[in-house]
Chains A and B, each alone.
Chain A
């Protein structure tokens, strides 16, 4: 191949370099810059993921040293069968954790998205003084250790803690709720107010789907789970508010001015201009909200360890319990892979309905 030497390149580099050479050098530089991040991702993310997928097909107990030749046996898809399809305690625990996690996600993600947007709109108002202070105050919980926040919430919500005292002062007939140890589902409590209980509804509610009674599927999050959901929402609103704030400040003022000229009031501006323009940001926030909510673990570990009565057992906590307390690491890996598939599916669905190319 003929070497092409352009005069400008020769002058610029002070040496003789071909186009191909230069492209190759640029490519190498690019890879070199990417290499550290890529190696870290590979070693700490990709390889463990593949290892987990591999171990999910074995019966390794997580204790026997892997250096031994007979540390585990291959089981094929037995772990997945036992987890998803076979009647038994493992299926019951998995679907309980799935139910709890879904209620958690359905509660936390919309709530934190809406509240973050409202907070961002409020902090963005021109008439608000000391914006910096409010931004910091709202963002602060996100950077505090989740363990510390969980401990403080535990202290606030004990039977004679501040929350019960406060509610008792406001509502004279208030009976102390044992926030930390109440397994009654919130929807069940609501239905009970109208006199609808399992006995009243009839036998069809006792039909078991995946080892869990139909009536229990609609129990809603338990009171303790509700408390953890409030904790998580309070912690994450800050981060999302900051993201929304940045996006809000990107909306050019002339758009608002044009709307005002056309005669729109504040609510119409918010609903028809701000929210649609924030759509890419909302998509991003819902995605990271979903991913984070599905993986909730810290708060459960500190506050309730999956109790009371398995009502705060989430899939991520089940992975930990299966692997370290139950010593069935193969099963734990299978549960983790199932969680990965669930989150992946939800994210794809979300992209289809809320994302850039969604049909409105």
Chain B
């Protein structure tokens, strides 16, 4: 009995001592950086930037964690109160996190904030407070397959295209080749661009959510009718129709001649379909205006932070002039959000992708108010129903607006 007691005591002692040694080792600052796991190229680029930061700041260590189910993991971390120092925040989540009070503000913590694109910085300004600098951004543009255009004997798309040009080309290609003219999913994150081009607004000047209401109703109906007409002519297909996981895949394997995707398609095409020729122009202009959607992610600093100064140093480095230059040169797809790095990105990626930067001028981020997932699902469902011929555009818009009213009243 005494021998086993001695053994247990000895084991406990070893445990305590080693734990103490681990704790005592902490003389530098270790920052936790959480990000959504993305393409290999993007992850490698971030690690390179962080390595450069650590080299320039010897006292600070950064631990990067990439999570596949990033939003869920981050949310549970917030809920427990034990969340990382620095983390990605997507545009869909900025309002919720700002409201929950888990973000630190960016005022006075950044180098040359005027250099950031204004439209990008506005995405992350909630209630007048600017929370986190965007690290890069993507915009939707029109990708086309010149080989299929040649086969149908058509001129390539240009930056001056309108809806009529798109419709004519899509129908002509569908009739004269095996491919479908235009591939796009029944998704708010694509269709909304057409709504904007038809003159619709998502928010009015007072910041109220006005999708499909009053004057905007006609814009929504027009945009849905445009889709419906293409569909009835057989010139529009969803990825599921073409047996592809997403429109980019259908475009890459030649099943569709045109699609609307963002900067992420650059690396995807180079990796997965290197032999497919393709070009890109800004999306066609609608009856009212040019318009496109932008998708951007920012680097935020947590509010209950033990090391705010070092955290802001890290964020400033990653999104400031040096970090933006590194993003531009790494060229994994999304462009850096600083105007000074624009030329560098075009140089490293190629002038042929200029459409992605030109479109930034008239890009809007399709952000919905907090708790509007049901609206997103309702709109996606209704777009699909219009494509399937089960609803008229008017009915679809009315139903979607009803859902929005329901949610706004909560």
Q: Footprint of B on A, CB under 8 Å?
A: 61-68, 88-90, 93, 158-161, 178, 180-181, 183, 306-310, 321, 324-329
B256 to chain A, nearest CB (A): 13
| Complex: A64 Cα to B79 Cα, angstroms | 6
Q: Is A328 touching B240 in the complex (CB atoms < 8 A)?
A: no
Across the two chains, which residue of chain A brings its CB closest to B407? A89
Which B residues touch A308, using CB under 8 A?
Answer: 381, 384
Q: Does B83 contact A (CB under 8 A)?
A: yes
Interface size on B, residues (CB 8 A): 34
Across the two chains, which residue of chain B brings its CB closest to A158? B243
Q: Is A306 touching B238 in the complex (CB atoms < 8 A)?
A: no
Query: Given known contacts A306-B377, A327-B371, is B97 in contact with A63 (CB within 8 Å)?
Result: yes
Which A residues touch B75, using CB under 8 A?
Answer: 62-63, 324, 327
Which B residues touch A181, using CB under 8 A?
Answer: 238, 240-241, 384
| Complex: A178 Cα to B243 Cα, angstroms | 8
Q: Is B241 touching A310 in the complex (CB atoms < 8 A)?
A: no
**Beyond the given A67-B81, A89-B407, could you list 16 further A-B residue pairs with CB under 8 A, ordered by the A residue number?**
A63-B96, A63-B97, A64-B102, A65-B80, A65-B102, A66-B80, A67-B80, A88-B406, A89-B406, A90-B374, A307-B381, A309-B381, A310-B377, A310-B381, A325-B71, A327-B371
Q: Is A65 touching B81 in the complex (CB atoms < 8 A)?
A: yes
Question: How many Cβ-Cβ contacts under 8 Å join chain A to chain B?
Answer: 84
Q: Which of A62, A65, A158, A160 is B83 in contact with, Cβ under 8 Å?
A: A65
| Complex: A90 Cα to B378 Cα, angstroms | 12
| Complex: A135 Cα to B72 Cα, angstroms | 39
Within 8 A of A (CB), among B66-115: 71-72, 75, 78-81, 83, 96-97, 99-102
B243 to chain A, nearest CB (A): 4
* Proximity string of chain B (378-392) to chain A, C-beta cutoff 8 Å, 1 when within and 0 when not: 101100110010000
B406 to chain A, nearest CB (A): 5
| Complex: A143 Cα to B75 Cα, angstroms | 31
Within 8 A of A (CB), among B365-408: 370-371, 373-374, 377-378, 380-381, 384-385, 388, 403, 406-407
Q: Is B243 touching A89 in the complex (CB atoms < 8 A)?
A: no
Q: Footprint of A on B, CB under 8 Å?
A: 71-72, 75, 78-81, 83, 96-97, 99-102, 238, 240-243, 304, 370-371, 373-374, 377-378, 380-381, 384-385, 388, 403, 406-407
Which A residues touch B380, using CB under 8 A?
Answer: 307
Query: Given known contacts A63-B102, A64-B78, A65-B78, is B374 in contact with A89 (CB within 8 Å)?
Result: yes
Supply 8 A–B pairs (Cβ within 8 Å), ascending by A: A64-B102, A65-B79, A68-B101, A158-B243, A180-B240, A308-B384, A309-B384, A325-B373
Across the two chains, which residue of chain A brings its CB closest to B381? A309
Query: Given known contacts A159-B242, A161-B243, is B385 in contact with A309 (CB within 8 Å)?
Result: yes
Q: Is B100 touching A63 in the complex (CB atoms < 8 A)?
A: yes
Across the two chains, which residue of chain B brings its CB closest to A320? B72
| Complex: A341 Cα to B221 Cα, angstroms | 43
B250 to chain A, nearest CB (A): 11
Which B residues touch A89, using CB under 8 A?
Answer: 374, 378, 403, 406-407
| Complex: A12 Cα to B55 Cα, angstroms | 73
| Complex: A158 Cα to B242 Cα, angstroms | 9
**3 tightest Cβ-Cβ pairs between the two chains A and B:** A67-B81, A181-B240, A65-B81
Across the two chains, which residue of chain B brings its CB closest to A164? B243
Q: Is B100 touching A178 in the complex (CB atoms < 8 A)?
A: no
| Complex: A310 Cα to B381 Cα, angstroms | 8
| Complex: A160 Cα to B240 Cα, angstroms | 10
| Complex: A329 Cα to B381 Cα, angstroms | 24
Which B residues touch A324, using CB under 8 A?
Answer: 71-72, 75
Which B residues touch A66, using CB under 8 A?
Answer: 79-81
| Complex: A62 Cα to B99 Cα, angstroms | 12
A143 to chain B, nearest CB (A): 23
Which B residues touch A159, using CB under 8 A?
Answer: 240-243
Across the two chains, which residue of chain B brings its CB closest to A323? B75
Which B residues touch A310, using CB under 8 A?
Answer: 377, 381
Which B residues touch A160, using CB under 8 A?
Answer: 243
Which A residues touch B83, using CB under 8 A?
Answer: 65
| Complex: A88 Cα to B410 Cα, angstroms | 10
Query: Given known contacts A65-B304, A159-B241, is B384 in contact with A326 (CB within 8 Å)?
Result: no
| Complex: A324 Cα to B240 Cα, angstroms | 26
| Complex: A327 Cα to B74 Cα, angstroms | 12
A290 to chain B, nearest CB (A): 28
| Complex: A178 Cα to B72 Cα, angstroms | 30
| Complex: A328 Cα to B75 Cα, angstroms | 12
| Complex: A89 Cα to B382 Cα, angstroms | 14
Which A residues touch B80, using CB under 8 A?
Answer: 65-67
| Complex: A89 Cα to B404 Cα, angstroms | 9
Q: Is A178 touching B241 in the complex (CB atoms < 8 A)?
A: yes
| Complex: A88 Cα to B80 Cα, angstroms | 32
Which A residues touch B371, using CB under 8 A?
Answer: 326-328
| Complex: A183 Cα to B99 Cα, angstroms | 36
Which A residues touch B241, using CB under 8 A?
Answer: 159, 178, 181
Across the two chains, which residue of chain A brings its CB closest to B372? A326
| Complex: A88 Cα to B404 Cα, angstroms | 11
Which B residues touch A306, using CB under 8 A?
Answer: 377
B391 to chain A, nearest CB (A): 11
